C-alpha cells in the first residue's frame, strides 16, 4: 500500500487530507511540525509527502530543503499544498524541489487526481 506523509499543522486540513487519501486506499502518517516531518521523512521514508508551507517551527521551504539535501529524500515526491499563494510562490517552490503545487482551499473531488498525477511523474 502506498504511504503518504502529511506535514500539516491545521487539524481540520490534516483530517480532510487524511480522509481523502484513505478513501482512495492510501496509508497515511502525519507530522504537525516541520522538524517532525523532516525526521519522519528521513527515518521512515514515505512514498510521497503532502507539505504545508506555513508551519509553527520551520517553514515548508526549509522542510523541503532538508529532505532534498539527504540521499533518502532526493526522489520522494513532495507536493506543496498551501494557501500561502503569493505571486511567484508556486514557481519558487517548484524550483526548490517540489514535485507539484496544490493551492488551498483544496477541492476534495479534484485533489486526489492532482495528487495521483504528481506522484506518477
Give domain limits for the chain: 3-119
Span 3-119 CATH architecture: 3-Layer(aba) Sandwich (3.40)
Contact present, 53 and 10 (Cβ < 8 Å):
no
Q: What is the DSSP letter of 73?
A: G
Strands 78-82 and 48-51, how do they pair? Answer: parallel
Residue 17, classed as helix, strand or coil, is helix
Q: Cβ neighbours of residue 84 under 8 Å, at least 6 residues apart?
A: 53, 54, 60
What is the structure's pLDDT at 47?
A: 98
Cell numbers 519558487 correspond to 92
Write the pLDDT tens digit of every residue in 31-68.
999 999 999 999 999 999 999 999 999 999 999 999 99
For residue 84, name the pLDDT band (cuts at 50, 70, 90). Answer: low
- Based on the number of CB atoms within 10 Å of its own CB, is 86 exposed (0-12), middle (13-18) or buried (19 or more)? exposed
Q: Is the pLDDT of residue 102 over 70?
A: yes
pTM: 0.95
What is the structure's pLDDT at 82?
A: 85
Amino acid at each position: 500500500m502506498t504511504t503518504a506523509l502529511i506535514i500539516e499543522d491545521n487539524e481540520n486540513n490534516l483530517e480532510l487530507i487524511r480522509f481523502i487519501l484513505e478513501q482512495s486506499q492510501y496509508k497515511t502518517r502525519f507530522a504537525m511540525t516541520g522538524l517532525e516531518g523532516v525526521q519522519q521523512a528521513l527515518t521512515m521514508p514515505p512514498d510521497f509527502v503532502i507539505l504545508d508551507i506555513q508551519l509553527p517551527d520551520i517553514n515548508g521551504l526549509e522542510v523541503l530543503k532538508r529532505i532534498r539535501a539527504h540521499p533518502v529524500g532526493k526522489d520522494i515526491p513532495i507536493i506543496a499544498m498551501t494557501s500561502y499563494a503569493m505571486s511567484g510562490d508556486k514557481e519558487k517552490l517548484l524550483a526548490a524541489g517540489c514535485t507539484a503545487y496544490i493551492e488551498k482551499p483544496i477541492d476534495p473531488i479534484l485533489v486526489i487526481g492532482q495528487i495521483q498525477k504528481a506522484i506518477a511523474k
